Amino acid sequence: MPFFKKTFISDALLVRFILKAIAAYLLWFFIYDYLLLRNGFMDKFLIQHLVKSTAFVLEVFGYSVYTYADAVGIDGTHGVLIGAPCNGMELFALFAGFIIIFPGKVKDKFLFIPLGLLAIHLLNIFRLVALALVVQYKPESLEFNHKYTFTVLVYAFIFIFWMIWVNRFALKHQQN
């Protein structure tokens, strides 16, 4: 008896997908922990870019801001500290890994992945802007918004991008 009835995924495809997902996760774990974390270059680069970009957006809206190597805030507040878990790199890997292991044309993947990574990065910048504004206007809600509101929004955004990939690219690829 098939695991999924009346769907486009057969048991064999599901098993292959799960095995590919495990392999992609292990590959990411190795690359991140043993190559990227050795010198921390990529984490530092992303954090510095997020700090500068967040400060820029806040300044465009007329706020006076301060920055440190890994923090940004509106003058007079404690600001927002950006650590490696919040720089988006794991989200990049999660998003790209799904697109890579899911069916689709390589040409489409080379276009969709960078656009998705850029969208996730821009979303992260606006998340940090919003958190800096929360610290300014409603600091008691920072923990809740950081932990729940923005986590749900970011993962929902990534899920929507995945569904766009599945419905517009992967399923068309399978039909061809």
CA nearest neighbour of 136 among 82, 58, 77: 77
Side-chain half-sphere exposure of 167, counting CA atoms within 13 A: 6
Question: Would residue 1 count as lying in a domain?
Answer: no
Question: Would residue 3 count as lying in a domain?
Answer: no
Which has the minimum average pLDDT: 144-148, 156-160, 164-168? 164-168
Q: What is the pLDDT of residues 36-72, one digit of tens each?
A: 665 577 888 999 999 999 999 999 999 999 999 999 9
Which has the minimum average pLDDT: 27-31, 64-68, 111-115? 27-31
Question: Would residue 6 count as lying in a domain?
Answer: no
What is the total count of domains within the chain? 1
Question: Would residue 44 count as lying in a domain?
Answer: yes
- Structural domain boundaries, residue 104: 11-175
Give me the pLDDT at residue 3, please. 46
* 7 torsion bin: left (phi>0), alpha (psi -120 to 50), beta (else): beta
Question: Would residue 24 count as lying in a domain?
Answer: yes
Question: Would residue 5 count as lying in a domain?
Answer: no
List, as one string, the DSSP characters of 79-117: -EE--GGGSSHHHHHHHHHHHHHS---HHHHHHHHHHHH
